[in-house]
A and B are shown apart, each in its own frame.
Chain A
């Protein structure tokens, strides 16, 4: 009776051995390509961005069109260009980590030089509007002297392209300067109230 029941510990050991054997068998072909752990340490980390091979990125991207290219690059860069590892992650549905905001793959940067704002990457710091539109020289000027106010709303559209551009720019500048003046006055008022 006792001899016929399945020996649980033995079965467990067998299953574990079987899994280990399988894993060993499937991982054998990869070391020839790139041992992932080795390259990570040895990688010339001076300029890590350079290490991304666009061909590898393309390979992965073609297999998984839905995967984000930046994430692919990020994963490839971290695992030392091991395409198999990246593909495995995607196949197993583990997904790729989101690259940090600071990560700027070189291939992405050069691929669209036409767009003014490069990629839709978050900018860590934004210049204030005064710096951005070069308005520091106009800050001190009075509103009445910088523009004849009644003139603006009347003539808001022109047949001339350049004139239109200028008018838009002026409306924009005026809006910013007026807001700044108003806020400054408000703060001055608050400060004097506190002071008195």
Chain B
């Protein structure tokens, strides 16, 4: 627990455990390594993700919170802003100045005042409202735009599959 990154992560872990946000469980896989976390996110209500629990892993860099973690869903995830391998692509996970396309405002991107909690809440709202501008999964984005019914059917299927039903 010597370095500042571990310390900060421990503090965030404590905060998330004592006062967990609705629909979110997160913590290190083991406290021996504070740089690898596992999170469960509940599908937001009123969306096809409703009722589902989506596991993801967060990997923190050694210089956290200067640099953001990476987040990857470890379940089937059909979403415009999630790569096929599960990696989440949203602005809060991008360091400032790392946006060659200028899609995002600097304020939306990662900075040390953000937190794991904010990331997870952002991802939750991303599930509800995909960002169509720079899709990570082009096929999912197209389906979301053009064949919403089919998109929702796939997502609901994943919800059931994830819970072993």
Which residues of chain A have a CB within 8 Å of any CB of chain B?
101, 116-117, 120-123, 126, 128-132, 136, 156-157, 161, 164-165, 167-168, 171-172, 175-176, 179-180, 182-184, 186-187
Contacts and interface: CB of A to CB of B under 8 A. Distances in A.
Contact of B25 (A131, A136, A171, A186): A171
A165 B20 contact: no
Contacts of A120: 72, 85, 87
A163 B19 CA distance: 17
A8 to B, nearest CB: 46
Contacts, number: 79
A153 to B, nearest CB: 8
B163 A175 contact: no
B interface, size bucket: 20 to 34
A38 B36 CA distance: 47
Interface of A is mostly: helix
A164 B17 contact: yes
B51 A183 contact: yes
Given A120-B87, A164-B17, A182-B51, A130 B164 contact: yes
Contacts of B40: 172, 175-176
B25 A129 contact: no
Contact of B164 (A131, A164, A165, A175): A131
B53 A179 contact: yes
Nearest to B24: A175
B35 to A, nearest CB: 11
Given A120-B87, A156-B18, A156-B20, A179 B25 contact: no
A122 B84 contact: yes
B163 A179 contact: yes
